[in-house]
Structure 1
Amino acid sequence: MTQNTPLSPLFPRPLHHLQDVTHRVLSAAQLRARGVSAAQTSAQCLPGGPWQHLLPGVYLLHAGAPSGQERLYGALLYAGRPPASSRRAVPEQADAGFGEAMVTGLAALALYGFASAPDLAALHRVDVLVPRTRRLRSTRFVEVVRAAALPVPVRLAGVPVAPVERALADAVAGLGEAEDVTRLLTEAVRAGHSEPAAVVRELSVAKLLGRPAVVGAVDALLAEGRADAEARLYTMVREHGLPEPLWNVGLRLPGGPELGGVDAYWPDLAVAVELDTRAPRFGVPEEGRRGGNQSPGRTEDPQWSAYAAKRERLERLGVTVVHLTPRKLREAMDQQATVVRTALMAADDREPPAYLVVLPR
């Protein structure tokens, strides 16, 4: 048998003609399942042969440099190899040979369509997220990233990908330039991939908020998030025919203390809208860490306490405060417009509010 002779009826012609990456990159276990022995695989990978050894236990079934997609797929096959002491597999990903592994970092952001992330073909490494207990080393272009608890992956381009917030944190961990970090974080909000609070929370979990390259980037992220939320609030009022409010004003009692600012205020109806664009800058409790759908408790958030205290003061004075989040405005603007309209229509049924002085902010 020569090196160019097909090894199996499954491979009737040179495999570089196959378009599906799942046929161009295979693990040793997948080759064995197709009837290709270890000796045959080694023979095909000899110098000048049609195949090549891409990663430990992973083979590229054509000559020439691997594509970005092939390197991505190979990285998952390498990281997804089950431990020798365990046969356990994750059903949704087991058939592909990925185990619990998922793409993260810049490679994941490229799959999400981030314009500020390099193309897969230009990446020098592929970050792959695996359980902390895996005994697996980074090798060649694969960087192994470990997590105590894995998040639920998203399926993109047929492969498991870490949620965008986790992928951002892992990408930021490998960047040293503030400009690069700012570009990624700003695009995450501007393109609607995530909310600032979720991104900052993940950066806090990863203990990245104190890095010089991250501090300024987070400020830019929060400013971008607020500007985007305000623009959506303006759009909601105008496109849904709500009365024009006073925008971005402060309230106080005549001759008394300031009560705080609101994003929109209808003085004749004593209805205010406040956008929740806060983001945590403190540690996240363990139950809210990566890997679950839990959210960190609000009891540790001083910003939330300030929001709640201001709302309580205003409502004691007869002002109805409608609390909106950027996510609600983006995903359910019609519903939020109905909530605000209902509050405005109910003004006549309430007791007359206290007189408040309105100040520009």
Structure 2
Amino acid sequence: MPDPHLTDLIERLTSGIVTPADLDLLREALRTGQIAIVTGERAVSLGGSADGAVIVTGDHNQIIILQGNAATVARELTEPSPKPPAVCPPNPFTPLSGRITNPTHIFDRQREVQQALDYLRSGSSVAFIGDSGVGKSSLLTLLKERAETELGRTPILLDMQKLHSEDDYYEALCEEAGIATVQGGWKLERALRGRRLLLLLDEIEKMTWDGFSHNLRAELRGLAEGEHAPFKLALVARSPLDRLFPDSELNTSPLAGICQQINVKPWNNATARTFIQQRLSGTPVHFSDGEIELLVRSSNGLPLRLMQSAFNLYRTKTSGDV
């Protein structure tokens, strides 16, 4: 005889009052072979209808013919549970613009950073020179992270693109240094006396705009020159500093005179390929050799351009549009 609990359960099903807990028990009964549910031609051959369903107990001594909603529920019990949609990892080719602020997301460039640290330890300031999108600004992130431990200097990073005048510059600088706002070389030098700071200036081209004068650049040199000067500088520019700030035909640009310039070059083919493969590792997405070759060639080795193109290709592959 069938399990009385199972008989009660089937009776509740036929009456249309099953609960979610009842459905779980029915699924378990199906899984263990205590009951079978048949539909279609097999149900008709057992006395049911084409639209109904038939429950047969495990020992085949009881057949229950279901109709209406009870048959619908029974048929749904025989259908495999839908698989949850595959979740693809987030697109690994980010960020798409701006300075990378997380040091762990910066690929390669250890040679340039080590060169900058060597120059800074020797008492010089540095300037990273290279094309837009080559990754110069992100190098400031790496220097900022290592300034305290490897240089014994407190880093201050200013994005000149956000500053529109010398007043903005002094206010931002003094706020980051933790001092009252002062202007003028000797006042600022007195306020910073005894401090050891690494001033990282992004988008230094902004100092060529109206609102920024030669005096400010000369002041920066004074604050960064000498063994006990409060500042050492790390600058980012697209052009060499003597070309960027041609202050006088007779005098070298103040900033060019104290900064060792480090050329930041585009990635070569091997580095660009390694970057793509590293970012794809841990994802189910695969780029073909031809796709990688096209990405590398079209980017001209510029990390930002390569990142943007690879992001779009990854998005296409994971959206099912290929």
Q: What TM-score comes out, normalization by structure 1 length?
A: 0.21
Structure showing the higher helix proportion among its residues: 2
The structure whose RCO (Cα within 8 Å, separation 6+) is larger is: 2
The structure with the larger Rg is 2
Q: TM-score, normalising length from structure 2?
A: 0.23
